[in-house]
Amino acid sequence: MTILDIERRPEVAAASEASRRRLDEIWKTPPGIAGFLSTVDHKQIGIRYIITAFAFLILGGIEALIMRVQLGRPEQQLLTPEQYDQLFSTHGMTMIFLYALPVLSGFSNYLWPLLLGARDMAFPRLNAFSYWIYVAAGIFMYAGFAIGAGPNDGWFNYVPYASRQFNPGMNMDFYALGMIFLGISTSAGAANFIVTVFRTRAPGMSINRLPIMIWGTLTASAANLLVVPAVSLAFFLLWMDRQFGTHFFDVSQGGQPLLWQHLFWIFGHPWVYAIVLPAMGMVSDGLPVFCRRPLVGYTPVALSTVATMVLGFGVWVHHMFATGMPNLALSFFSGASIVIAVPSAVAVFAWLATIWSGRPVVTTAFLFFASMIVLFVIGGVSGFMTGSVPVDWQLTDTYFVVAHLHYVLIGINLFPVAGAIYYWFPKFTGRMLDEELGRWNFWTMFIGFNIAFLPMHLTGLWGMPRRVYTYPDGMGWDWLNLITSVGSFLFAFGILLLLINVVKSRRDGRLAGPNPWDASTLEWSVPSPPPPYNFAVIPHIVSRHPLWEQQLQESDARSSLDTGYLLDHGRETIATTSLDSDIDLILKMPEDSYAPFLLTVAVSALFVGLLLHWWWLAAVGGFATVGAIMIWLWPERDLGQTADAGHG
Amino acid sequence: MVEVALGRPRVPVGSIRRRGVGWWGVMMLITTEASLFVYLLFSFYYFALQTPGEFLPRHPPSLSLSLPNTAILLLSSFAVWWGDVGVRRGRQRQLVVGLAIALLLGIAFVTIQLFEWRQQSFTLRSSEYGSLFFTITGFHMAHVVAGLLILVSLLVWSALGYFAGRRSAPILIGGVYWHFVDAVWLVVFFTFYLTPYLR
């Protein structure tokens, strides 16, 4: 073992076979179950996030299809009202919390260090921890559903219906504790992204050279850090009311039910942006590659990403227009909700201008990215409508809102994600997805989606309330619902084609090589799939498009990709300054570790104990949590945390 | 074509005070925890404004124990800071003594606060005010306990001679968390113990 010096001049070298072998030895994760439980490699964690999120997407999709069978015709008796309540609530919980953000976290986890020229995230073990907690919380919440105690009050779970008096089962306890549980994962992940972007960028990658996807996930992470505590607190107070007789929400004892709505939506609306901004970022980075030109308006798009979120903190009350608040509050929040269309429009026009002035290559990925613009505009316009108080009073709690939110969430999350799979699958696996099957995949999803949800606006305008388990004959909603149900099955078939394509191409897809799309950003400068250490040498960046400098001729300077800091004294990467990305420090990165997994087991025991009132289990889990954290944080010489690692 | 020339400055290796990622990590933790207390206090003031009739209990929490207890907590922050100055100047013993004093003062705070809780004329279930009081001060107390566990760890590690000079990031990181917990107390203290006098 080498004694760590307190300071060092990092070696500069060209990447060689010998150094690659050395780095591989240092960074690789052992195969088998040991590696599976202990790895901190952001690429493996990213893939796991994506696969797990898709598993939840499939579950949530099946729930939706069952509901669409129930609603396909009037007065169907396939489901009881209670079953229907649990299905639509679990569907919302699954898609919004267990699919939409985690899938984006998966892409960001995999791609961030590769986009930034780093060897891992800033906190590799925390990264593994946030994944494990996500899985554990997902299982926790689905355990309730499996025993017939899933959430049954909609995903936003209004009191007093969620209170014990009206909802005596364990449904709400599973949901409340599960959401607090999941919040740990979200917050830890968000913190990791923020520190990663501010500390581990390659030298020269100043803040104005970041890919837009980084801006998207960074903005979303900053928001999550600030708003996740609101919803965790709301659920905690609900749980206290239900289990310990406090009086936060029960009206008879002076509680304030509207406080629930405030706390929920202070979180909920920024969350909506958190689950679309990273996806918009993926479009901003992917679409231009297929237009063979850089994105039009990098700076306005980056700024509008941040502006959307800043405004997004001030619009939560538009979910509460019908609760009888003062006119002044309604006017303010209505105004903010309408103004937010401006930064969104900036992005839309930037994408349109990029297509217009580029030479589009129509691939499946391009189709998904470009169609997202259409769906975003439709969802944006219906959102603009409901941002207006009088229109909202007419439309609130109707299917119009359901149509709107599906255009927004499927349009700006799932379509970009599908595009991103076509775009980055070659990087993940080294193989291309099948383009012909891809066309079938895209058109089935696009047509199916619009058949399902475009008529739904009309269903809402004609007065069908959301969240009813069935409806009487002769209301004029029959054929609309039937069309929606048919469309939803077509849409689901489209997603099935995507899954088939992934499974099939992973085995026998065409080999991709490092840069099959001739793209411009750093992840395409390394082999596909990338080696465990990502970069044999840390690249040095002089432009926004390191791989397009020759074509673009923006200046004479060229990024250095093959020669750079070697950093092979154990696991190391470079830390740079936050804005200019000047070299600042050599970071010692942790080895693979079981601590994140064990800590997750301890935290899970704590939550199960709280749920079942098994206080001994909660105590054991609590003590194990403290112990696991202490072991994790025990200062290590190899990480340069103790004095015998050299000091001065 | 000009390839950039790479400089080879001497740079620190590993965890160095504010330049490591640990400092950034604790800043993230403090940001999200501070948000939590913002929402807790938002809930309190929301109740204070929305409750028709009298919101405060007839006997609001008194200053007799809480005021000296506030001083105790602030002193403990000072002790941590003093220990940190020590380690930076290579005075190991000052570090250990500072942390030990902070730990004792922190334990004193928790003990006195437990007595303070028992003195109240209301309970967790007796009114919405009681629910808010015990939940918010309870949240703060949980953070103090977490802070004490951190101080214990730092004390053990310091006694083992782990830290010296610039290799002392954990002291900085654990210390700033403790300062944060103390700062939050000032806001909680103001909310529950001082605002009744503002009527």
Question: How many alpha carbons fall within 13 Å on the CB side of residue A190?
Answer: 27
* Distance in angstroms (rounded) separating the CA atoms of residues B25 and A433: 38
Tens of pLDDT, residue by residue over A568-582, are 999 999 999 999 999
* Number of other CB atoms surrounding residue B164 within 10 Å: 21
Report the residue of B2, B3, B13 to disrupt the A interface, i.e. the one with the largest count of A CBs within 10 Å. Answer: B13
Decide: residue A556, CB within 10 A, 0-12 exposed, 13-18 middle, 19+ buried.
exposed
**A254 CB-side CA count, 13 A:** 23
Helix pair A399-409, A364-386: axis angle to 10 deg: 140
pLDDT tier at B199, thresholds 50, 70, 90: confident
Q: How far is A576 from chain B (nearest CA, A)?
A: 10
Residue B78 contacts A where some CB pair is shorter than 8 Å: no
| Yes or no, beta carbons of A563 and B6 under 8 Å apart | yes
Please check the confidence at residue A3 and state whether its pLDDT lies above 50.
no
- Nearest CB partner across the interface for A641, out of B1, B47, B169: B169
% of chain A beyond a pLDDT of 70: 99
pLDDT mean over A268-294: 96
- The string of DSSP codes covering A177-190 is HHHHHHHHHHHHHH
Contacts of A190 in chain B (CB under 8 A): 28, 32
- Chain B 139-198, residues with CB within 8 Å of chain A CB atoms: 149, 153, 157, 161-170
Task: Please tell me which of the candidates A5, A199, A583 has its beta carbon nearest to residue B13.
Answer: A5
- Whether the pLDDT of residue A647 is over 70: the answer is no
Domain spans of chain A, in order of start: 20-508, 598-634
Q: Is the pLDDT of residue A487 over 80?
A: yes
Task: Flag whether B133 is in a domain.
Answer: yes
Q: How confident is the model at residue B33 (pLDDT cuts 50, 70, 90)?
A: very high
Decide if B5 is inside a domain: no
Would you say residue A520 has pLDDT above 80? yes
Rounded Cα distance, A221 and A231, in Å = 15
Q: What digits encode the pLDDT tens for the residues B108-149?
A: 999 999 999 999 999 999 999 999 999 999 999 999 999 999
- Is A553 near chain B, with CB under 8 Å? no
Structure letter (DSSP) for residue A477: -
Determine the pLDDT at residue B27.
Answer: 97
CA dihedral sign, ordered A403, A471, A94, A438: negative
pLDDT at B3 over 90: no
Q: Please tell me the number of Cα atoms within 13 Å of A349 on its side-chain side.
A: 9
| A528 touches B: beta carbon within 8 Å | no
CA atoms within 13 A on the CB side of A495: 19
Tokens 């919803």 map to which residue?
Answer: A231
User: Does residue A396 contact residue A15 with C-beta atoms inside 8 Å?
Assistant: no
Q: Which CATH class is domain A20-508?
A: mainly alpha
Among B125, B165, B169, beta carbon nearest to A246: B125
B125 contact A CB<8A? yes
Distance of CA A4 to the CA centre of its chain: 38
How many domains, chain B?
A: 1
Which residues from B are below 8 Å from A229, CB to CB?
Answer: 32-33, 35-36, 39
Least confident interval from A280-289, A424-433, A560-569: A560-569
Q: What is the pLDDT of residues A407-425, one digit of tens each?
A: 999 999 999 999 999 999 9
Q: Is B52 left (phi over 0), alpha (psi -120 to 50) or beta?
A: beta
Res. A2: pLDDT tops 80: no
Residue A384 has pLDDT above 60, yes or no: yes
* Residue A343 pLDDT greater than 80, yes or no: yes
The span from the first CA to the last CA of chain B, in angstroms, equals 73
pLDDT tens column, A437-457: 999 999 999 999 999 999 999
* Residue B194 within a domain: yes
| pLDDT tens column, B56-109 | 999 999 999 999 999 999 999 999 999 999 999 989 999 999 999 999 999 999
Record the tokens describing residue B10, joined without a space. 């001497």
pLDDT at A484 over 50: yes
Tell me how far apart the alpha carbons of residues A404 and A384 are, in angstroms, rounded to a whole number.
10
Partner-chain contact A635 B157, CB within 8 Å:
yes
What sections of A6-119 are H helices per DSSP? Answer: 17-27, 32-38, 42-71, 81-93, 101-116
B51 and A648 in contact by Cβ < 8 A?
no
pLDDT category of residue A244 using cuts at 50, 70 and 90 = very high
pTM, full prediction: 0.96
What CATH number corresponds to the domain at position B143?
1.20.120.80
Q: Which residues in chain B have their CB less than 8 angstroms from residue A246's CB?
A: 124-125, 131, 135
Task: Measure in Å the smallest separation between the Cα of A328 and chain B Cα atoms.
Answer: 17
State both tokens at A486.
Answer: 């048919």
User: Does A595 contact B at CB distance below 8 Å?
Assistant: no
For chain A, first and last CA: distance in Å?
21
* B7–A247 C-beta distance less than 8 A: no
Q: B157 is in which domain, residue-wise?
A: 17-198
Q: Which of A1-5, A300-304, B9-13, B149-153 has the lowest mean pLDDT?
A: A1-5
How would you label A229-262 residue by residue, b for 16+ Cβ within 10 Å and e otherwise?
bbbbbbbbbbbbbbeeebbbbbeebbbbbbbbbb
What is the DSSP-derived secondary structure letter of residue A225?
H
In the stretch 201-230 of chain A, residues with CB closer than 8 A to chain B read 203-204, 225-230
Structure tokens at A294: 């850089």
Give the model's pLDDT for residue A273: 94
Which residues, in sequence order, are CB contacts of B116 under 8 Å at separation 6+?
Answer: B61, B65, B66, B69
